[in-house]
Amino acid sequence: MDRRSFVKNGAVLGAAAAALPRFGFAQVKGSDRIKVALIGCGGRGTGAACNMIAADPNIKIVALGDLFPEKLDKAANKIHDFAKKSVGESKASEIIDPSKVKKFSGWDNADQVLAEDIDVVIEATPPVFRTPHYEKIVAAGKHAFLEKPGAVDVIQGRKMYKLAEEASKKGLCVVCGNQRRYDNRYQDLVKRMQDGEIGELLAGQCYWNNGGYIGAWAHGKEGTEDTLEYQIRNWWCFIWASGDNIVEQHVHNIDVLMWAFGSDRMPVEVTTGLGGRSTDLPCPRYGDRFSHFAIDYDMGNGLRMASYCHQDPNTTPNVSERIIGTKGIFQGLRLTDHKGKTIYAPGKLELDPYIAEHKYLLSAIRNGRRVNELRHLINSNMVAIAGRMSAFSGKRFKYEWMVKKSEENIVPQNVDLMGKTQDLSLKNPVSVPVPGKYKLV
């Protein structure tokens, strides 16, 4: 993504930005209000809707969907409050009217939302729903903003690759929430690395080390922890609902390295996967996921990638990336020589990337251009999944085996993600994976 073009036009349209078939954008002209729906009305979904308003207030949010009905009014009011601050009270209701916006709840809320007259969908549900919902979004012929991650396991990842191709064939835009790709500083530095400014790239390290366990505030009645409702309400704590923190959160940092290396350069082998649950929180009350991971990837031709993430209280936080080249190092959002002297530092942040990603999407829709960023996300997503599988099992394996042959499916067998209804009181017993006992499939 070229930084100058992005800043000038609000989007990079590149070689893939050919004119679309008429059916793709027949209802959206440059000055029209783009009709938006939000599926997933939690904090990130509500935030994404506000980010979209900041990017382009000439939108109308016409429908909200969430599994749990109590989230709908809260989201509508928060988005309306943000709109009032952005465009003034008199115009805010043109963007969203809390009393008139359509609201749908229940297991089939996505189906109900997609039956409405909309142009683009913000999908920001718990990660396990992303793939089945995007399948429905593509079938309905809608553009989409998808939060990360795009998949929680190998089966979903393979499906998303196919959906990315199908979306392109239909002329549908899809932009994803790996927002560092929309940060002008990262764009500048990645281009310089790809142009050889720090020489041949030899190794990269990425980190998302939190100073606390996300989900330590888990809520719900004691004794209900093995029900679907509890686990979905506390999705960040449960592997099947979140993908674990290496997939749900640390994918951001993995994505930066993958981008710099060349987004289609995939690992040859996952050589080492370590992890565990050192956080002193009981399972299943606080989920079954690991609190820390350390993964080594062989990227081929001598290039290595190391991934580190943890969520342990009272530990030093570090959210960053580092890439070593023959002539220098990328670290701390700058390029240095091997002794730490700055070679190059980018300018200031020009636009909040949480806003820039929506500006990129909406500009493409308005201008009848095709942008499809899903494959980049799923590449990084699958690398994170591979790291999780290695850490859970304690095994090394070829990346190609995972992509082509693994049958890993972590969604509970009694859960129909594509169905119309689901009994949320269904039991789903969980336990923390044990390396050496967890089986690769």
pLDDT in tens, the chain (441 residues): 444 444 444 333 333 333 333 334 435 666 689 999 999 999 999 999 999 999 999 999 999 999 999 999 999 999 999 999 999 999 999 999 999 999 999 999 999 999 999 999 999 999 999 999 999 999 999 999 999 999 999 999 999 999 999 999 999 999 999 999 999 999 999 999 999 999 999 999 999 999 899 999 988 999 999 999 999 999 999 999 999 999 999 999 999 999 999 978 999 999 999 999 988 889 999 999 999 999 999 999 999 999 999 999 999 999 999 999 999 999 999 999 999 999 999 999 999 999 999 999 999 999 999 999 999 999 999 999 999 999 999 999 999 999 999 999 999 999 999 999 999 999 999 999 999 999 999
CATH 3.30.360.10 occupies which residues in the chain?
185-348+379-405
Q: What is the pLDDT of residue 10?
A: 39
Cα 361 to Cα 365: distance, rounded to the nearest angstrom: 6
Give the pair of three-digit tokens for residue 40: 């997933």
- In this prediction, residue 29 carries a pLDDT of 62
pLDDT at 30: 62
Amino acid present at 310: H
Length of the chain equals 441
State how far Cα 279 lies from the chain centre: 25
- Residue 52 CA from chain centroid, whole number: 16
Task: Report the distance separating Cα 349 and Cα 362, nearest Å.
Answer: 21
Farthest-apart Cα atoms in the chain, separation? 62
User: Is the separation of the CB atoms in 422 and 110 below 8 Å?
Assistant: no
pTM of the predicted model as reported, rounded to 2 decimal places:
0.93
Q: How many helices (H) and strands (E) does the chain have?
A: 16, 15
For residue 319, what pLDDT is reported? 98
Query: Can you tell me whether residue 40 is helix, strand or coil?
Result: coil
Q: 185-348+379-405 belongs to which homologous superfamily?
A: Dihydrodipicolinate Reductase; domain 2 (3.30.360.10)
Which numeric CATH code is attached to 3-181+353-372?
3.40.50.720
Looking at residue 69, its pLDDT comes to 98
* pLDDT value for 2: 44
Q: Which of 186, 110, 169 is nearest to 419 (CA)?
A: 110
The pLDDT assigned to 280 comes to 82
C-alpha separations of 111 from 73, 127, 134, 178 in Å: 19, 17, 11, 26
Residue 11's pLDDT is 37
DSSP structure class, residue 237: G
Q: Where in the chain is the domain with CATH 3.40.50.720?
A: 3-181+353-372
What does the alpha-carbon distance between residue 230 and residue 218 come to, in Å, rounded to a whole number?
A: 9
Question: How far apart are the C-alpha atoms of 297 and 276, rounded to whole Å?
Answer: 18
Whether the Cβ atoms of residue 145 and residue 177 lie closer than 8 Å to each other: yes
Phi, psi of 37 (to 5 degrees): -125, 150
Residue 31: per-residue pLDDT: 64
Report the alpha-carbon distance of residue 61 to residue 332 in Å, rounded. 38
